[in-house]
């Protein structure tokens, strides 16, 4: 069963903020939200993760709703190099919990 | 620079000819794993290792072997490759088994003819 739901694809103008939504309505209280991206068959790249609070790092911001049933990854100033497939993953922080990559969102940043 | 290195990047081989894909990480990570990626199926875990000499099967282990004799290395072995093992393979490592922040290698594209 899919634990997350993401739009198949999105476009974003270069220089604008890219807002990528993710629905995870069945998330449990101790599951984290992770975001990865994969640029054209390269190895997936970790972006950010969070549990309850909003998080920000040098790459992106993660906004998690109060009920934790959805989240949004924000790339504040998208560039052409941000064109990639973005994966939202929920997982526990315990044992062998493999990263389960769904289909993700294909983000195209357009000049 | 923190990295996971896979070799080779590209490999074409024939059915039945044993091959090894190497994976090495320089971050002293405990946890390492192998994934394969196929169109329409996403990334699927093949094997994982929680530490030296501790390995276990992932979701799609058939036809593969691994070993973890040293902390930094986690080779993937195909004893008798078959065409259905044609795929894009990724090695990943993370600090500990529960840690979800993983570092991935650049991938190995394997074709078995």
For chain B (113 residues), the mean pLDDT of every run of 10, in chain order, is 95 97 96 94 92 94 97 97 98 87 96 98
Answer whether B50 sits within 8 Å of A96, measured CB to CB.
yes
CB B35 within 8 A of CB B45: yes
Question: Residue B84 phi/psi, 5° resolution?
Answer: -75, 0
Q: What's the CA gap between B83 and B52, in Å, rounded?
A: 31
Structure tokens at A52: 């309850």
Longest dimension (CA), chain B: 38
Spell out which residues of chain B touch residue A100, defining contact as CB-CB under 8 Å. 42
Enumerate the β-bridge partners of residue B37.
B43, B88
Spell out which residues of chain A touch residue B99, defining contact as CB-CB under 8 Å. 93
pLDDT at B100: 82
Q: How many CB pairs under 8 A join A and B?
A: 59
CB B17 within 8 A of CB B34: no
CB B16 within 8 A of CB B83: no
CA nearest A99 in B: which residue?
Answer: B100
pLDDT at A44: 96
pLDDT at B4: 98
Structure tokens at A72: 């949004």
Structure tokens at B27: 């971050």
Kindly tell me the sign of the dihedral angle through the C-alpha atoms of A36, A56, A80, B92: negative
Distance from the Cα of A15 to chain B's closest Cα (Å) equals: 27
Residue pLDDT, tens place only, B29-50: 999 999 999 998 889 999 999 9
Mean of the per-residue pLDDT values for chain B?
A: 95
**Contacts for B111 with CB less than 8 Å, ≥ 6 apart:** B11, B12, B13, B86
pLDDT at B76: 98
Question: Residue B85 phi/psi, 5° resolution?
Answer: -95, 5
pLDDT at A2: 53
Question: What is chain A's pLDDT, residue by residue, as a tens digit (111 residues)?
Answer: 458 999 999 999 999 999 999 999 999 888 999 999 999 889 999 999 999 989 999 999 999 999 999 999 999 999 999 999 999 999 887 767 778 888 899 999 999
**Contacts for B31 with CB less than 8 Å, ≥ 6 apart:** A96, B48, B49, B50, B51, B93, B94, B95, B96, B97, B99
Residue A25 burial class via C-beta count within 10 angstroms: exposed 0-12, middle 13-18, buried 19 and up? exposed
């Amino acid at each position: 069963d899919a634990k997350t739901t993401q739009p198949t694809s999105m476009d974003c103008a270069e220089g604008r903020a890219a807002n990528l939504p993710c629905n995870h309505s069945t998330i449990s209280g101790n599951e984290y939200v992770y975001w990865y991206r994969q640029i054209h068959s390269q190895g997936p790249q970790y972006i950010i993760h969070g549990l309850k609070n909003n998080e920000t790092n040098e790459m992106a911001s993660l906004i998690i709703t109060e009920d934790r049933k959805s989240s949004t990854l924000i790339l504040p100033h998208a560039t052409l190099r941000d064109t990639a497939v973005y994966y939202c993953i929920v997982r526990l922080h315990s044992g062998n919990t493999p990263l389960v990559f769904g289909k993700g969102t294909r983000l195209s940043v357009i000049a | 620079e923190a990295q996971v290195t896979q070799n080779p990047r590209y490999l074409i081989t024939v059915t039945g000819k044993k091959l090894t894909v190497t994976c090495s990480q320089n971050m002293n990570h405990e946890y390492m794993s192998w994934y394969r990626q196929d169109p329409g199926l996403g990334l699927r875990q093949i094997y994982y290792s929680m530490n030296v000499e501790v390995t276990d099967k992932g979701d799609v282990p058939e036809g593969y072997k691994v070993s973890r004799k040293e902390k930094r290395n986690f080779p993937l072995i195909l004893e008798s490759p078959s065409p259905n093992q044609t795929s894009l393979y990724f090695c990943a490592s993370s600090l500990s088994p529960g840690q979800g922040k993983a570092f991935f290698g650049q991938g190995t594209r394997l074709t078995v003819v």
